[in-house]
Amino acid sequence: PEIARALLIQPENVQKRIERAREKLSQFQLELESLRHPWMRQRTSSVLTVIYLIFNEGYLTTCNDHAIQQGLCQEGLRLARLLVENPLGQTGDTFALLALMCFHAARLPARTSEQGEMVLLENQDRRQWDSRLIAEGMHWMGHMAIDQSAGRYHLEAAIAWEHTRARNLQSTNWPRLVQIYRSLCRLVAGPAQILNLAIAESRAFGPQ
């Protein structure tokens, strides 16, 4: 059901896809050695999308029982870290996604109240943010510079970094965020990106 909600399709369709994928994998009888083949690089983009969906389901879960699922966030981080250990996975997009997830995961300790309710960014106690994950995110941001093409994950990591390095909501560099969101909207002009751009513009220049 969570996969279906993430992909905006019916759970029955997800089940059929999983069954077909299992059948195809059993036919291939893949060995670990084959995963080092250069054609795997062509699949990296799809792998990153899946990892990001796993993390997002944990960061803002579609389950009604709780606000976040830490286990899914940790699984997304684990898979991305595994990917960067493989030379075929060492791309700018992989480094950028890992930086993005580190910055988001760093805020998890302050993201819910003792009652399990969601705490908005402006009300979070930033002293609770995980400094080790922030440092790791900065590390991967340095690596993602090896790829000169600024893709979606690069821009989203830059946005997350601006929020992470600000002392509070008021000191956030909103004009800089407007620039990044405009670049992001040129790549991914979805409703969420456009709404976030509007919020950044209202913070930077006023509600007009």
Own/partner pairs for 128-137, CB < 8 Å, 24+ apart?
A: 129/164, 130/105, 130/106, 131/106, 133/102, 133/103, 133/105, 133/106, 134/102, 134/103, 134/106, 134/164, 136/102, 137/98, 137/99, 137/100, 137/102, 137/103, 137/106, 137/161, 137/164
- Kindly state the average pLDDT of the residues 118-134: 94
Q: Are 162 and 172 in contact (CB under 8 A)?
A: yes
Using CA atoms, how far residue 139 sits from 20, 28, 39, 160, in Å, is: 39, 37, 28, 14
Residue 30, pLDDT > 80, answer no
- Kindly state the average pLDDT of the residues 137-152: 83
Tell me the one-letter amino acid at 54: I
Tens digit of each residue's pLDDT (9 = 90 or more) over 62-71: 766 677 888 9
pLDDT at 206: 94
Q: Kindly indicate the confidence band of residue 50, based on its pLDDT and cuts at 50, 70 and 90.
A: very high
Using CA atoms, how far residue 110 sits from 34, 53, 105, 113, 118, in Å, is: 42, 22, 10, 7, 9
Q: Which residue has the higher pLDDT, 83 or 30?
A: 83
pLDDT at 1: 84
Helix (H, G, I), strand (E, B) or coil at 115: coil
- Kindly state the average pLDDT of the residues 75-80: 97
Q: Are 67 and 112 in contact (CB under 8 A)?
A: yes
% residues pLDDT > 90 (the chain) = 62
pLDDT at 116: 81
- Kindly state the average pLDDT of the residues 135-143: 95
pLDDT at 6: 74
- Kindly state the average pLDDT of the residues 118-122: 91
Residue 33, pLDDT > 90, answer no
